[in-house]
Chain A
């Protein structure tokens, strides 16, 4: 046990190699698109909407597809009111405040780990980031669940409470709904992978 702890102490004190530090920098750059691209994309197809109503969830905003013929977010809310679903309002999403903040904080922590060059800092960032990522995912899932389950009791059309799909395809009334992670989500995952590789690289170099 003590041996293991010693080993751990040695591990956490390891210096980060140049390669690992450069990887952290790359990871930070890779994370930047998270500010500019959607985290999640949902598309609602039906007979009347062969091109699909589109909904894009960003780290900081909600955006519907918009053409001169249609405002999708408005339309989705318009349709949802028949089943008594609350309108999707940006102001209802606390995520839009804390997700950008969280990402910013993690970028700063990653840069700090790069500059100080200690394994423990890098592990901190990795663990915090994984927690943040999973929590965000759960938070979105919970929100979808709430929207689908808190339906007004006096709605004109009664449907069974439901959860819109987080990933994949689902049939909801006359709509086929597709939900997939967006580019921002991929950059979040890639960020975590790059940090992990940075940890492994420095650890391996210490072994040699």
Chain B
């Protein structure tokens, strides 16, 4: 039996303990004042009040979604999705004849690298080019209306178009490159045993019409079967040059993870695109797969290989065009090459070897610095104060380092987790806007509300105006942004209505009284209007088996007055924007009565915006 006194002592101790625990608990819950201050500061820095607008547009590549995502900086809010290589019922993309024709035989693409068009080395806000890594295509989005206007390709001889799309200083060309070498031309068979000799890669460029942005075949350069990875265009003094990095200079096959990671150095290729253009003009090419291909064994002086630390991923040119930065992802260093030294080495024929006709420059003669940035360096962007920012995949961090001088790493910020690309507005131009860097991370490991095994991606907004980088915001996107580019909002002036005066579609009608159907044999042609809150005509009568073409014009001239047009059970849903005309085509093979209705909520009488497709049985 415990004495009363001991009981009281125990009781007192218990009270004290409880007090201590609760105090500790309170102390843990309450963040230190300065930390709370930082949170409030970050919240204010990213808060865009209702009615206000963001400062920058951020164009995310959508990866294998085949799309481009548009967000605002600093709010990081997703604003729109631009469908490019995949159908997207939200905007009716891939259901009308015009977009179906652009998509061709494919239902998806793998968008990796958006490239804003440039004039004099800076974004001009005209177009956004994006690549399709899977099917060797490039698409052009017009930033006047944020719509995909052209899908070019599959580009002959290019297999796995990863080193794309990067534009030259005045958007003369968009770079293309082969990631997965194959026997050429495409469709040729050769045993995998002959990889090193019979498989070939190309690097090259697609030409861009300076007025319309229309893409056409440019030039290609035949290369050994290396895996061309990323590209970049020169600027200023290096303006006439294009650069790509490669892994697998081992020319290995099988389990590349091992076989292509044997050498301590792979390559960056430097190609003088002006000289390539000249060679094409002079007829120094052969036609392979329908494209003009330059063989470096026959045409000298165009291309040079620069040894770069192990399996380099990103190759990025500094804003002044003097430095080429290659990040060896399997080492801890990023290598900086000096463009002047490259030119000198070329002039002096300071070569250490050759690969299928392409001279290899002497590493020691062209290297400017090896910067010890950290583990798994991938990509580099630049600010306007003379710093470079390199993403570190393995280390899950961004390293900020001085471009020139002591080449020192001056700051590092951890990110969550496993960063791939990073984006500074204008970070690949001659005049970057060094206010923010966006970390495009591959893994989020439960940083968001759980949504099951399929995980979103994570991008983080980081303030880079001060000496220390400051994390501001986490955003989560659909899979899977790779690279992104950002442009000041005031550089874009999109239209929101297609003006009636500009409508050139011969099948557009602007008056509900002109709406109606005509028949030519078993082809029924319907000219239709959509306007709040009715379609004209409100019925379409056809016979089973008829081919039906509907030219649908939204005759609205008011922003945001979109109309959808869906036919139940006929797998059709298009959306027409104000002033837009789209073509819908199908064979009425199912007899019966099928409602059509407006899918894009438009007005108080949106529910009433409907009609009937009547298909008489045969």
Chain A residues with CB under 8 Å of chain B are: 68-71, 74-75, 78, 82, 156-157
Contacts and interface: CB of A to CB of B under 8 A. Distances in A.
Contacts of A70: 497, 557-559
B605 A82 contact: yes
B239 interface: no
26 contacts: A68-B495, A68-B496, A68-B497, A68-B499, A69-B496, A69-B497, A69-B558, A69-B559, A70-B557, A70-B558, A70-B559, A71-B497, A71-B557, A71-B558, A74-B556, A74-B557, A74-B558, A75-B557, A75-B558, A78-B531, A78-B532, A78-B556, A82-B605, A156-B605, A156-B608, A157-B604
A157 B608 CA distance: 13
Given A68-B495, A69-B558, A74-B558, 15 more contacts: A68-B497, A68-B499, A69-B559, A70-B557, A70-B559, A71-B558, A75-B557, A75-B558, A78-B531, A78-B532, A78-B558, A82-B604, A82-B605, A156-B605, A157-B604
Contacts of A74: 556-558
Contacts of B556: 74, 78
Interface string B557-583: 111000000000000000000000000
Contacts of B531: 78
Contacts of A75: 557-558
Contacts of B604: 82, 157
A42 B608 CA distance: 31
Interface in B525-555: 531-532
Interface string B249-281: 000000000000000000000000000000000
Contacts of A69: 496-497, 558-559
Nearest to A72: B558
A70 B495 CA distance: 11
Interface of B: 495-497, 499, 531-532, 556-559, 604-605, 608
Nearest to B493: A68
Nearest to B496: A69
A156 B556 CA distance: 19
A127 B597 CA distance: 60
A112 B604 CA distance: 58
A75 B603 CA distance: 13
A68 B494 CA distance: 10
Contacts of B496: 68-69
A71 B608 CA distance: 24
Contacts of A78: 531-532, 556, 558
Contacts of A156: 605, 608
Nearest to A50: B51
Most chain A C-beta atoms within 10 Å of own C-beta, residue among B556, B558, B608: B558
A155 to B, nearest CB: 11
A82 B499 CA distance: 24
Contacts of A71: 497, 557-558
A205 to B, nearest CB: 58
Closest 10 CB pairs of A and B: A71-B557, A69-B559, A69-B496, A70-B558, A74-B557, A75-B558, A68-B495, A78-B532, A70-B559, A156-B605
A159 to B, nearest CB: 13
Nearest to B579: A71
Contacts of B497: 68-71
A70 B608 CA distance: 24
A108 B484 CA distance: 69
A70 B497 CA distance: 7
A156 B605 CA distance: 9
A83 to B, nearest CB: 11
A74 B559 CA distance: 12
A78 B531 CA distance: 8
A45 B499 CA distance: 24
B490 to A, nearest CB: 16
Nearest to A73: B557
A26 B260 CA distance: 91
Contacts of B532: 78
A69 B556 CA distance: 11
Nearest to B604: A82
A183 to B, nearest CB: 27
A44 to B, nearest CB: 13
B560 to A, nearest CB: 9
B500 to A, nearest CB: 8
A95 B217 CA distance: 61
Contacts of B499: 68
A74 B531 CA distance: 11
Contacts of A68: 495-497, 499
A157 B605 CA distance: 10
Most chain B C-beta atoms within 10 Å of own C-beta, residue among A70, A82, A157: A70
A89 B568 CA distance: 37
A70 to B, nearest CB: 5
B185 to A, nearest CB: 47
Contacts of A157: 604
A82 B497 CA distance: 22
Nearest to B608: A156
A68 B499 CA distance: 8
Nearest to A49: B558
Nearest to A81: B532
B555 to A, nearest CB: 9
Contacts of B559: 69-70
Nearest to A68: B495
A50 to B, nearest CB: 10
A84 B199 CA distance: 72
B501 to A, nearest CB: 11
A162 B604 CA distance: 22
